[in-house]
């Protein structure tokens, strides 16, 4: 599908599920899929159908989140029932947060998005598709290593960035390479060395930084203090952090000088650098960068500064809680009406 270019960009929710679905349907020899969350029934069925038509399929799924949820249980069951080779991700890593796919040994997808329905319609996310054979071989090599529970050593020089490894330092170096501007779409800002790199870029190099993040109510309780502190530090330096409107931010993207991009699965969060299997890629294809810059400006124009005062944070959490309660009440009333209807019908 994408053989005319070295790299191709998939943008969510703009591009939807079609590019990934068509690629799976078009696979001729092999599919190697490594996924943090895989619950989309359309893609699960497409993978099963690929297996049935003779494609050599291997699937690795993260067994559970660190909070205990088992998102992938249904996918495990469906693949096993269909005799699709499926395994848990490498137990060397408590979490595998990487989202990747290698197709026919010739093409690799490196993604921030999970394969669950909401990531094809509700979130700002990206995938970089590469036909560069060295990059494809590297993703395939890590898949083989994790599948076989063996060690994987990335090349010394590569556009790919792996964690656990040099991911934190590579992110810091990428931030440090900016001469004029940094456009950032990341969920949270919790990792101190990366925040320090942003401080240095702003204060020492006078780099203009536009940063977007999740609203505070979206931060989990166990890192909300660090998350708010990181955002407040950026704000104290004159870096206003915005929240998107109309689309949920799940991307992990940094643009430097409107010329270079770093797209990844890893968040700016210590565990992503210190413990988890993660994958990112740097690229500078002019047409792709142009599209990303256009999207960032559109998102920025449709965003709002996050109020990081104590009052603003409390108001944000109260508003979100009220919305959740209203949705829960509506859900309960709907089910009550259904139950009442069944009761009347039975009587």
Q: What total number of domains does the chain contain?
A: 3
Residue 4 has pLDDT above 60, yes or no: no
Q: Do residues 331 and 250 share a domain?
A: no
Q: Which of 128, 147, 166 is the last residue of a domain?
A: 147
Is residue 280 assigned to a domain? yes
Q: Do residues 94 and 138 share a domain?
A: yes
Is residue 263 assigned to a domain? yes
Q: Do residues 278 and 199 share a domain?
A: yes
Q: What is the pLDDT of residues 250-265, one digit of tens each?
A: 999 999 999 999 999 9
| SS3 of residue 58 by DSSP | strand
Tell me 115's DSSP state. Answer: B
Six token digits for residue 338 = 């259904």
Six token digits for residue 140 = 């395939």
Q: Do residues 321 and 206 share a domain?
A: no
Is residue 158 assigned to a domain? no
CATH code of the domain covering residue 63: 3.30.870.10
Q: Which of 126, 147, 168 is the last residue of a domain?
A: 147
Residue 141 has pLDDT above 60, yes or no: yes
Distances (CA, A) of 339 to 333, 336, 345: 10, 5, 10
Residue 338 has pLDDT above 80, yes or no: no
Six token digits for residue 345 = 């019908």
pLDDT band at 337 (very low <50, low <70, confident <90, very high): low
CA 167 to chain centre: 15
Residue 310 has pLDDT above 50, yes or no: yes
Residue 1 has pLDDT above 70, yes or no: no
Is residue 171 assigned to a domain? no
Lowest-pLDDT choice from 69-78, 165-174, 180-189: 69-78
pLDDT band at 2 (very low <50, low <70, confident <90, very high): very low
Q: Do residues 30 and 63 share a domain?
A: yes
Q: Do residues 202 and 289 share a domain?
A: yes
Element (H, E) at 175: helix 167-176
Residue 332: domain span:
314-347
Q: Do residues 71 and 191 share a domain?
A: no
Residue 299 has pLDDT above 50, yes or no: yes
Tell me which of 68 and 236 has the higher pLDDT: 236
Q: Do residues 324 and 214 share a domain?
A: no
Q: Do residues 15 and 49 share a domain?
A: yes
Q: Which residue, 231, 229, 251, is CA-closest to 241?
A: 231
Question: How much is the pTM?
Answer: 0.89
Q: Report DSSP letters for 56-82, one per residue.
A: EEEEEE----TTS--TTHHHHHHHHHT
Q: Do residues 193 and 129 share a domain?
A: no
Is residue 131 assigned to a domain? yes
Number of helices (H) and strands (E), helices first, in the chain? 10, 16
């Amino acid at each position: 599908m994408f053989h005319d270019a070295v790299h191709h960009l998939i943008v969510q929710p703009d591009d939807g599920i079609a590019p990934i679905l068509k690629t799976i349907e078009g696979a001729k020899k092999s599919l190697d899929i490594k996924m943090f969350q895989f619950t989309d029934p359309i893609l699960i069925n497409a993978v099963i159908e690929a297996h049935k038509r003779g494609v050599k399929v291997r699937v690795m799924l993260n067994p559970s989140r660190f909070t205990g949820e088992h998102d992938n249980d249904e996918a495990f069951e469906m693949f096993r029932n269909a005799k699709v080779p499926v395994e848990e991700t490498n137990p060397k890593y408590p979490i595998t947060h990487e989202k990747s796919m290698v197709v026919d040994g010739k093409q690799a997808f490196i993604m921030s998005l999970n394969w669950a329905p909401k990531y094809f319609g509700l979130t700002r996310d990206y995938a970089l598709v590469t036909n560069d054979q060295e990059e494809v071989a590297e993703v395939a090599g890590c898949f083989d290593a994790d599948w076989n529970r063996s060690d994987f050593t990335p090349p010394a020089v590569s556009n790919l960035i792996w964690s656990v490894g040099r991911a934190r330092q590579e992110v810091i170096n990428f931030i440090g390479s900016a001469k004029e501007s940094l456009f950032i779409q990341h969920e949270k800002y919790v990792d101190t060395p990366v925040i320090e790199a942003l401080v240095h870029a702003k204060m020492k190099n006078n780099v203009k930084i536009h940063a977007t993040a999740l609203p505070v109510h979206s931060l989990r309780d166990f890192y909300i203090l660090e998350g708010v502190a990181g955002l407040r530090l950026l704000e104290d330096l004159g870096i206003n952090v915005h929240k998107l409107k109309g689309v949920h931010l799940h991307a992990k993207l940094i643009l430097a000088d409107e010329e270079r991009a770093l797209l990844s699965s890893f968040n700016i969060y210590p565990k992503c650098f210190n413990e988890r299997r993660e994958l990112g890629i740097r690229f500078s294809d002019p047409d792709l960068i142009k599209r990303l810059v256009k999207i960032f400006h559109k998102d920025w124009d449709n965003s709002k500064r996050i109020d990081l005062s104590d009052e603003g944070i409390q108001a944000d959490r109260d508003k979100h809680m009220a919305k959740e309660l209203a949705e829960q009440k509506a859900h309960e009333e709907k089910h009550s009406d259904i139950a009442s209807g069944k009761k009347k019908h039975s009587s």
